[in-house]
Amino acid sequence: MKRGSISIVGAGPGDPELITVKALRRIQSADVILYDRLVNEELLGYAKSDVLRIYCGKAPGLHSMPQESTQQLMINYAAAGCHVVRLKGGDPFVFGRGGEEALEAAAAGIPYEVIPGITSAVGAAASAGIPLTHRGLAASFAIVTGSRCHDQDSPVRWDALAHSVDTLVIYMGVSKLGEICDQLLKHGKDPLTPIALIENGTTVRERTVTGTLGSIGKLAAAMRISNPAIIIIGEVVKVREELLSLEKTVRSQIG
């Protein structure tokens, strides 16, 4: 019997053209694709006509399939001789549970590989004109999940994050935006610190709202910002405003 294998693949931040060549080749050769909610379904069109597609998406508070069931399916199909592609939004190892799946494959003795993808912190920020690092403004950045805000056993250390890095990128935090801002302000972050919310980054539905740590809550509510979205906090947000201003000036001169 043919020996199966598992490819844990990053699909990138949303724009299907941002997938890597290697990842696309794995989609094209897959017998089974287990794909997540934030994967652009246009990518599934590159798969073989007889590929088995299984949706494993997780929306906030609504999981179509438990993680353990997804991993078991992945192992079962690979053990049966299939090339399984575990297709995940962004990068598999950045809040993608790719590490858990790699450990499961290794424990089962299934050959596996991990193919990186552009994570939304990098892709969405760049698409919105916000560099995570910028000479004179930011020499460091941290990525953190906002979904642990109410985790009493391992809470997010907002006290440490408030002053330890120049740029803070928060995944899965829009629903807890008010609490996040309150915590950062409580631990001494300046209320005038620039902040951006990027919704559906890199896609045709991308929307960016900017403000300050003290004002963004009202703006987000007025604009009805929702998931998927990331939060970027730091002086680098000002670069976006500068770019937009320069572009406006050039257009007026040309026009």
Q: Which residues are annotated as catalytic?
A: 36, 58, 172
Tokens of 208: 């960016």
The strand pair at 83-88 and 5-10 is best described as: parallel
Residue ranges in the chain assigned as alpha helix (H): 21-29, 67-79, 98-107, 120-127, 158-164, 177-186, 216-223, 237-254
What sign does the CA torsion over 150, 205, 222, 187 have? positive
Contact 72, 65 (CB under 8 A): no
Q: Lay out the sheet containing 5-10: strands in order across.
A: 52-55, 32-35, 83-88, 5-10, 112-115
CA dist., res. 177 & res. 220, Å (int): 9
* Helices and strands, counts by H and E, the chain: 8, 12
Helix (H, G, I), strand (E, B) or coil at 17: helix
Instruction: Give the contacts of 199 (CB within 8 A, at least 6 positions apart).
Output: 205, 206, 207, 208, 209, 225, 226, 227, 228, 229
